[in-house]
């Protein structure tokens, strides 16, 4: 199988960034899916596995948990010949349940009855959480994006089903981000020539202004992701920024800005889609929920001290629509336009994931993802065998245990720092030598993890391992 595919490469890069267990899970899920779909071809002539890759890519780009990315890779395997027993032997119950919620035996002699039965069963399945819904909508998005090789009747039916059933289903659950993608995919499927014209014109515009817009984008990333080169006031405020996301706009959003002029034949795409009319990028600045004031109050000091001095100014405050909130229109010194959206973290989660009844949704930020690499001060420590390790400054003995291996962390009793016994919460110093004492043996480890450990760890890696273990093993006590 040719793995030189952007979607596949993106999925695997997410796994590597999140840690070895996540990487292994995605590798195993992909191998299982490739085996099931190995001889299958889509209507477009591409290998069928490119569809699960594309669906999993959407789920990964939403920042959802690795189990859900794995389920996206596997979402069609039951309908394509895999047995439930094979799935149960290979993957955890949460992944298997999502796949089963997405699958139903098809009666090819009664397609209409099948579709109605599937809809009823599917709506029941997503009442408690939206995991299956995210994957179903992602699958629908990719199918619409690649529907051009299907018959006109099949294209029309899928577009109409999306508008009549899946879009309202997503709208009722406030899945604004996926609604944007669905609407964009519907335009691509229904009006492919217009979509290509808008998309090509927009991307030519991005290319023509790449050098100028890169300066503005780098300024935002430096201030709010790397949090570098700031004075003491801004540096303190930057700690309340959860993330800053800069992304290209969907062609349908670009089209919506000029559609009335196009319909009135007041110009062509090339004459209407210009940097003076169309914001080139969306900038999403997300305040942590610990910030008690309005997000605009967090941004204003940066605006006055940093952005105005670099000739980036607010030119308008614009109202939103049913999918996107209001935004501020920014202009740089080269007259490029940007839409600035200001969120609280909880509001951004609602925008991305809707009002999901499921608790503890995985929500990763770009700053968190990079925290273990570039943007956090680090120290050098040593294992008992004198192997050099780099770890975040302020990390504890327990963080070091998880750095060595997930099982070492979960079974840790205490540490020996420079030959002296140290508790798990002890903070490490530069050039310390650490040995971890664990409970049980390698063949029969004894897990000692408890909720108080969340207060002891400082690194994202350790927190991820703890979250993963408690999600899989914690059973709340019943009260009667």
Q: Give the model's pLDDT for residue 43.
A: 87
The pLDDT > 90 percentage for the chain reads 59
C-alpha 330/C-alpha 312 separation (Å) is 7
Q: Give dist(CA 434, CA 422) in Å, integer.
A: 9
Q: Is pLDDT above 50 for 470?
A: yes
Q: What pLDDT is stored for residue 115 in this prediction? A: 67
Residue 337 banded pLDDT, cuts 50, 70, 90: very high
- Residue 141's pLDDT band (cuts 50, 70, 90): very high
pLDDT at site 390: 83
Give the pLDDT confidence score for residue 193 in this predicted structure: 94
Average pLDDT over residues 12-27: 79
Mean pLDDT, rounded, for 300-308: 95
Q: What is the pLDDT of residue 322?
A: 64
Q: What is the mean pLDDT of the chain?
A: 87
Write the pLDDT tens digit of every residue in 216-243. Answer: 999 999 999 988 889 988 999 998 999 9
The separation between the first and the last C-alpha atoms of the chain, rounded to the nearest angstrom, is 54
Between 364 and 132, the more confident residue is 132
- The whole-number pLDDT of residue 172 equals 92
What are the angstrom distances between the C-alpha of 470 and each of 164, 314, 453? 40, 45, 11
The tens digit of pLDDT for each residue in 394-426 reads 999 999 999 888 889 999 999 999 999 999 999
- In which band, very low, low, confident or very high, does the pLDDT at 356 lie, cut at 50, 70 and 90? confident
Q: Which whole number is the average pLDDT over 1-19?
A: 80
The predicted structure's pLDDT at residue 367: 45
Query: In this structure, is the dihedral angle defined by the CA atoms of residues 20, 25, 29 and 35, taken in order, positive or negative?
Result: positive
Q: Over 80: is that where the pLDDT of 200 sits?
A: yes
Question: Mean pLDDT across the stretch 281-285?
Answer: 97
Judged by average pLDDT, the poorest of 273-287, 298-312, 450-464 is 450-464
Adjacent-strand bridge partners of 246: 283
pTM here? Answer: 0.74
Q: How far is CA 334 from CA 210, 310, 337, in A?
A: 11, 11, 9
pLDDT reported for residue 475: 47
Q: Are 375 and 367 in contact (CB under 8 A)?
A: yes
Q: Which pLDDT value is given to residue 476?
A: 43
SS3 68: helix
Work out the average pLDDT over 348-367: 73
pLDDT surpassing 60 at residue 57: yes
Average pLDDT over residues 209-217: 96
Whether the pLDDT of residue 290 is over 90: the answer is no
- Concatenated DSSP letters of 4-36: --HHHHHHHHHHHHH-HHHHHHHHHHHHHHHHH
Model confidence over 419-439: pLDDT tens digits? 999 999 999 999 999 999 998
* Mean pLDDT score, 84-93: 91
pLDDT of residue 468: 75
pLDDT of residue 264: 77
Of 109-123, 254-268, 278-292, which one has max mean pLDDT?
A: 278-292
User: Tell me, what's the pLDDT at 464?
Assistant: 77
What is the number of other CB atoms lying within 10 angstroms of the CB of residue 47?
Answer: 18
How far is residue 33's CA from residue 52's CA, in Å, rounded to a whole number?
Answer: 8
């Amino acid at each position: 199988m040719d793995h030189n595919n952007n979607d596949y490469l993106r999925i695997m890069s997410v796994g590597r960034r999140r840690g070895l267990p996540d990487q292994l899970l995605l590798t195993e899920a992909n191998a299982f899916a490739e085996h099931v779909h190995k001889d299958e071809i889509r209507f477009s002539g591409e290998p069928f596995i490119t569809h699960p890759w594309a669906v999993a890519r959407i789920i990964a780009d939403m920042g959802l948990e690795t189990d859900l990315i794995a389920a996206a890779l596997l979402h069609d395997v039951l309908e394509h010949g895999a047995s439930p027993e094979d799935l149960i032997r290979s993957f955890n119950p949460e992944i298997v349940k999502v796949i089963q919620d997405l699958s139903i035996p098809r009666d090819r002699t009664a397609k209409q009855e099948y579709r109605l039965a599937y809809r009823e069963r599917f709506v029941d399945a997503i009442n408690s959480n939206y995991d299956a819904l995210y994957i179903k909508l992602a699958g629908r998005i990719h199918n619409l994006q690649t529907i051009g090789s299907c018959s006109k009747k099949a294209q029309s039916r899928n577009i109409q089903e999306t508008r009549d059933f899946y879009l309202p289903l997503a709208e009722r659950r406030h899945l604004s981000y996926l609604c944007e993608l669905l609407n964009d995919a519907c335009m691509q499927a229904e009006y492919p020539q217009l979509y290509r014209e808008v998309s090509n014109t927009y991307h030519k515009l991005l290319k023509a202004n790449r050098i100028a817009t890169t300066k503005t984008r780098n300024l935002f990333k430096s201030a709010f992701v790397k949090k570098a080169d700031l004075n003491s006031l801004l540096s303190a405020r930057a700690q309340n920024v959860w993330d800053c996301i800069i992304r290209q706009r969907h062609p349908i959003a670009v089209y919506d800005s000029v559609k009335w002029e196009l319909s009135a034949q007041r110009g062509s795409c090339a004459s209407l889609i210009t940097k003076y009319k169309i914001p080139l990028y969306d900038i999403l600045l997300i305040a942590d929920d610990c910030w008690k004031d309005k997000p605009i109050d967090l941004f204003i000091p940066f605006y006055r001290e940093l952005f105005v001095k670099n000739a980036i100014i607010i030119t308008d405050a614009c109202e939103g629509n049913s999918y996107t909130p209001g935004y501020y229109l920014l202009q740089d010194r080269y007259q490029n336009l940007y839409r600035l959206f200001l969120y609280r973290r909880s509001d951004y989660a609602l925008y991305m994931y809707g009002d999901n009844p499921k608790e503890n949704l995985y929500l990763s930020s770009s700053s968190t993802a990079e925290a273990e690499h570039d943007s956090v001060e680090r120290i050098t420590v040593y294992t008992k065998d004198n192997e050099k390790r780099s770890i975040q400054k302020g990390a504890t003995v327990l963080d070091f245990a998880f750095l060595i291996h997930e099982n070492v962390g979960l079974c840790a009793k205490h540490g020996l720092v420079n030959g002296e016994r140290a508790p798990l919460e002890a903070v490490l110093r530069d050039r310390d030598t650490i040995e971890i004492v664990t409970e049980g043996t390698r063949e029969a480890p004894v897990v000692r993890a408890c909720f108080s450990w969340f207060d002891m760890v400082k690194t994202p890696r350790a927190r991820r391992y703890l979250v993963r273990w408690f999600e899989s093993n914690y059973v709340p006590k019943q009260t009667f």
